[in-house]
Amino acid sequence: DAGVIQSPRHEVTEMGQEVTLRCKPISGHDYLFWYRQTMMRGLELLIYFNNNVPIDDSGMPEDRFSAKMPNASFSTLKIQPSEPRDSAVYFCASSPRPNTEAFFGQGTRLTVV
């Protein structure tokens, strides 16, 4: 299995632009998580899905952030409009079922200038 696949690996964009991050979870995993990591705040859970349904989006910072999971093999995290304070590493992770570990993708390093 290729593991969790994220794209792009790096993204540099100008403030105000729309950014879309993509994730392909491990096949057969029912849970998908989006995290953001910064030096100041560590790893923060933004949203997670169970069987493509959003379960908890309380970590999504504001309306500029949205996430979708149209099918079991694909999810997107969109930021519109982007701001410099959104600069961070965004990780996607998937998990087969409750009480098991989450497997992380390699992350997308986002820089908003």
Partner 1 sequence: RKEVEQDPGPFNVPEGATVAFNCTYSNSASQSFFWYRQDCRKEPKLLMSVYSSGNEDGRFTAQLNRASQYISLLIRDSKLSDSATYLCVVKEITGGGNKLTFGTGTQLKVEL
* Contact yes or no for 31/97 (Cβ under 8 A): yes
Nearer of residues 35 and 65 to partner 1, judged by Cβ: 35
What is the DSSP pairing of strand 65-71 with strand 88-95? unpaired
Q: Which member of 56, 84, 85, 111 binds partner 1 (CB under 8 A)? A: 56
* Contact yes or no for 26/47 (Cβ under 8 A): no
Q: Determine, following the binding rule CB under 8 A, whether residue 74 of this chain makes contact with partner 1.
A: no
Nearest to 22 by CA among 112, 86, 102, 105: 105
Q: Determine, following the binding rule CB under 8 A, whether residue 31 of this chain makes contact with partner 1.
A: yes
What residue ranges bind partner 1 (CB under 8 A)?
A: 31, 33, 35, 41-43, 45, 48, 50, 55-56, 91, 93, 95, 97-99, 101-107
